[in-house]
Amino acid sequence: MWNYCGWCHAPVPVPHPMLLAGTTRGGLQWKEDSIAEYGEWNRKGAPLGDVTAKAEYGVERDVIVTGIQTGTLEYRAGSVWGNPYLRVLRSQLEHYLAEERGEHYVHSVKNHTELRKVKKAIAALKKQLAGLQKRQQELEASLGT
């Protein structure tokens, strides 16, 4: 399959999107089961980095690499200031973790992560409320005098 470059109109080879890890057909490796939906990589919150996966799901980079090598996870590699990272799709990672560690593990980790976010939001609101109450007292004191 060939595409044309946008500014020089030269033909550029484009790899077929199905050419990933998975089953073999005619000497080529194909992936059928967990192909990302169209545009899934561009959705907000859909891809996550390996560091974020460790923070949210408690999985090490080795688990992600194993999932990539078995063909269960699609990935995109990147590098920022010379530090390499992997991005995987959240839906595929959750499915992979459910297969490897069980559905209960995924639910408990997601609930724990959500609880941590809720507690953080509550703490921020309490801090904001304390500042507003202090300002209220100052304004009442200045009006009362």
Query: pLDDT by residue (tens digit) across 3-56?
Result: 444 555 555 444 444 444 444 444 444 444 456 777 888 889 899 999 999 999
Residues whose CB falls within 8 Å of the CB of residue 113, separated by 6 or more in sequence, listed in order: 56, 57
Specify whether 3 is located in the same domain as 52. Answer: no
Residues whose CB falls within 8 Å of the CB of residue 78, separated by 6 or more in sequence, listed in order: 84, 85, 86, 87
Domain ranges, residue 14: 1-29
Specify whether 106 is located in the same domain as 70. Answer: no
Average pLDDT taken over every residue of the chain: 81
Q: What is the pLDDT of residues 89-103, one digit of tens each?
A: 999 999 999 999 999
Q: On the CB side of 35, how many CA atoms lie within 13 Å of its CA?
A: 11
Mean pLDDT of the region 80-97: 93
Specify whether 94 is located in the same domain as 106. Answer: no
Specify whether 88 is located in the same domain as 129. Answer: no
Specify whether 51 is located in the same domain as 93. Answer: yes
142 vs 27, which has greater pLDDT?
142
Specify whether 37 is located in the same domain as 12. Answer: no
pLDDT at position 145: 63
Specify whether 53 is located in the same domain as 15. Answer: no
Specify whether 7 is located in the same domain as 46. Answer: no
Specify whether 93 is located in the same domain as 114. Answer: no
What does DSSP assign to residue 8? T
Query: 121 vs 20, 94, 109, 125, 126, CA distance in Å?
Result: 41, 25, 19, 6, 9
Specify whether 49 is located in the same domain as 85. Answer: yes
Q: Is the C-alpha dihedral spanning 126, 131, 135, 138 positive or negative?
A: positive
Number of domain units in the chain: 3
How many other CB atoms sit within 10 Å of the CB of residue 87?
18
